[in-house]
Amino acid sequence: MTAGNASNDAARARAEELRAELARHDHLYYVLAKPAVSDAEYDRLFRELAELERTFPALVVPDSPTQRVGAPLPEGQGFEKRRHEVPMLSIDSLFSEEEVRDFEQKIRRFLTLPEGEPLDWVVEPKFDGASASLTYVDGVLVRGLTRGDGEYGEDVTTNLRTLRNVPLRLHEGERTAPALLEVRGEVLIEREAFVQFNEKRVAGGEAPLANPRNAAAGAIRRSDPTEVARYPLVFQPWAVVRIEGVRFETYWEARAALDAWHFPVNRWAERAHGLDECLAYHARMEKQRAELPFDVDGVVAKLDRLDLRERLGTTARSTRWQYAHKFPANEATSTLRAIECQVGALGRITPRAHVDPVEIGGVVVRHSTLHNADHVRALGLRISSAPTATRRSCRRASSGAAPTSTAAARRSSGARCSARAAVRSRSMASASAWSSSCMTRACCGVLRTCSTSTRAVRSWSSSTAGAKRPWRTCSSRSSARATRASSAS
């Protein structure tokens, strides 16, 4: 053996040793929160490995800690879309104990189970983040996809590699890595880390981010992995959808395997024997909601036995073996400043409220759908009223599947809220309904609408008998013209 070969072999052995040591310290620090070395010692090991790889380029492997942060996308190039091997379907969202019990009864009827036999569930908080999928081949991370539309997702592998609690190579100790593994989970930012990150942004002259969920969703789609690495992103797995070479009987066993492979596992998850324990867990998590480090909007309960899941299967949109029991909607009181009439392509009018900005569950709400004129009339809304805005979720929560329409996406993200509840104040002070499509200056009043396929009429009628108010006739295809009419017309 020549001196050169001996040197190469020694460098290869040392590089493998350093990669394993750095991966172990990453797991201890980012997953277990039990650091074993100082930052200076970790940096020394990292620099030694980087120097070896510079000296011997053949030693560079994709799962090396030095390769977490890759090169940015070329300017003007977007992420490639790839098909999900297993579609990311939705979870039925339930809002009451009665709905939860009805859901279980459907499962029992489908499986023809006796009434007295309790089902075993795994219950865990429903984190409010950005769903993603990680695929490993022979223990090495090869692909990371966003949720996308549930059928196709964007390939953001280079960005997901920057998450420090995501293993680039599965740890093989008590368990051998499978030939193929696909894990799905949520990309999140802890609330405390989000506050600190925003403080750094403001100090650096950048605008603060709105909330952890939007920050996480936006970060994983950035074109430069170096920028993504600045975000305090973490990954929380919630499903194993594909695996080869290993077989589990329960989801709880799969969680144990993920833990052995050095994935972060949800430490708030529990096994529940029967539906009463699921409901008790939901009540407990609702009380502890503010104490959790992440934003959550409910509890997910999934059958533990995988054979029962296979028998139940799925519908076209959702899985039959799990549900999301949502927490009560977040509410806040604001002040109504204007009602805007949005005219659709076919002339249909949808009133929308403009309210003073108010934060609801981490989202700043400035607008709220009012559905139709009857809804406005039923609420008794007036300019300067003080309605309660409620941030609602759509009936189906995501389990890795994206909403199938723009409207559904808005509902699930909380961009729309429903302005309901009693009007706390009915000040009749006039206000300027600020201009948008089909807006005019008007005093407060009840909205009256009619529409045809070619034009829409909006009328503001005064609560004072005999008073005259301006109205505007608008067309979605032509310029608006204004005239006057009495409120009795």
pLDDT tens profile 218-268: 999 998 999 999 999 999 999 999 999 899 999 999 999 999 999 999 999
pLDDT digits over 286-314, tens only? 999 989 999 898 999 999 999 999 999 99
Burial of 479 (0-12, 13-18, 19+ CB in 10 A): exposed
Reported as a pLDDT band with limits 50, 70 and 90, residue 33 is low
**Tokens representing residue 340 in the block:** 């805007």
Domain-wise residue ranges, the chain: 3-67, 82-326, 331-486
Reported as a pLDDT band with limits 50, 70 and 90, residue 24 is confident
Whether 439 shows a pLDDT value over 70: the answer reads no
Average pLDDT, the chain: 77
Query: Which residue, 84, 17, 8, 29, is CA-closest to 262?
Result: 29
Burial track 23-36 (b if 16+ CB lie within 10 A, e otherwise)? bebbbebbbeeeee
For tokens 């302005």, what's the residue? Answer: 419
Q: Which amino acid is located at 204 in the chain?
A: G
**CATH 1.10.287.610 holds for 3-67:** yes
**Tokens representing residue 193 in the block:** 């880390």
pLDDT at 472: 37
What would the CATH number be for the domain defined by 82-326?
3.30.470.30
pLDDT at 100: 96
Angle (CA) 19-21-25 rounded to 5° is 115
For 139: left if phi > 0, alpha if psi spans -120 to 50, otherwise beta; the answer is left
Helix then strand count (H, E) for the chain reads 12, 22
pLDDT at 269: 96
Q: Read off the pTM.
A: 0.69
**CATH 2.40.50.140 holds for 331-486:** yes
Question: Cα(339)–Cα(350) distance, rounded to whole angstroms?
Answer: 10
Mean pLDDT, residues 206-228 taken together = 91
Task: Kindly report the length of the chain.
Answer: 489
267 against 484, higher pLDDT: 267
Question: Cα(444)–Cα(44) distance, rounded to whole angstroms?
Answer: 68
pLDDT at 477: 34
Q: What is the CA radius of gyration of the chain?
A: 28
Reported as a pLDDT band with limits 50, 70 and 90, residue 335 is confident
Among 60-69, 123-132, 178-187, 388-397, the range scoring the smallest mean pLDDT is 388-397
Q: What percent of the chain has pLDDT over 90?
A: 44
Mean pLDDT, residues 408-431 taken together = 32
pLDDT digits over 458-482, tens only? 333 333 333 333 333 333 333 333 3
Q: Which residues lie across from 471 on neighbouring strands?
A: 459, 483
Reported as a pLDDT band with limits 50, 70 and 90, residue 401 is very low
Reported as a pLDDT band with limits 50, 70 and 90, residue 26 is confident
Mean pLDDT, residues 132-139 taken together = 96
Whether 393 shows a pLDDT value over 90: the answer reads no
Question: Cα(341)–Cα(447) distance, rounded to whole angstroms?
Answer: 9
pLDDT at 237: 96
Active site residues: 126
pLDDT at 244: 94
- 8 Å CB contact between 154 and 20: no
Q: What percent of the chain has pLDDT over 70?
A: 74
pLDDT at 281: 97
Among 64-68, 123-127, 235-239, the range scoring the smallest mean pLDDT is 64-68
